[in-house]
Amino acid sequence: MSRFRKKPVVIEAVQFDGTVSSEDAICQWAGAEVRDDGTSRQRIQRANQFGPLLIHTLAGDVLAQKGDWIIRGVKGEFYPVKPDIFEATYEPADRPGVPPAPDALREAALRRLLWLRHGCGIHALYGDDGEMQCSTCCIDFKRDPVEEIEERWRSAGERAVRAALAAAPEGETP
């Protein structure tokens, strides 16, 4: 049997504390959805006057109880998660004063190094709005998989070496 690790994605979540103000805030946060027939409905609403929240999920309607976390998923969908599952699965993504995990720091440093030194020249690099891209080789150093970037970098380096060797006078090495 194969094993899998959950991809690190950032989600939005709020914990339902059972109060009317919590219900109102969650319902307002979720907003309304427009159905295929043009009608709309709230994505999350009160199930009854003093009870749980009714969440319209992709898999059907689900009740969220006091203490449950309401999550907006990567496709904009909403669903409840029990507190123990939430704690085991998620950690704050924006904790002030807490540095990112070492693996994330190493990957960010590697991506920046590859971006700055990949061989197309500084004139081809652009990084407005935090992007790290090259207009010559069309690599997105922030979003493309690191393995793909490294492979393209190695291939470009090998081509450059072959071209330099071919251009050198016979008997000389560049």
pLDDT tens-digit readout, 23-40 = 888 888 887 666 666 666
Query: Are 17 and 83 in a shared domain?
Result: yes
In a domain, 7, yes or no: no
Flag whether 2 is in a domain: no
Regarding beta strands 53-57 and 44-46, do their DSSP bridges make them parallel or antiparallel, or are they unpaired?
A: antiparallel
Residue 67 has what pLDDT? 93
Residue 95, domain member (yes or no): no
Residue-range definition of the domain harbouring residue 46: 12-89
Where does a domain end: 89, 116, 135? 89
pTM of the model: 0.50
Quote the number of domains for the chain: 2
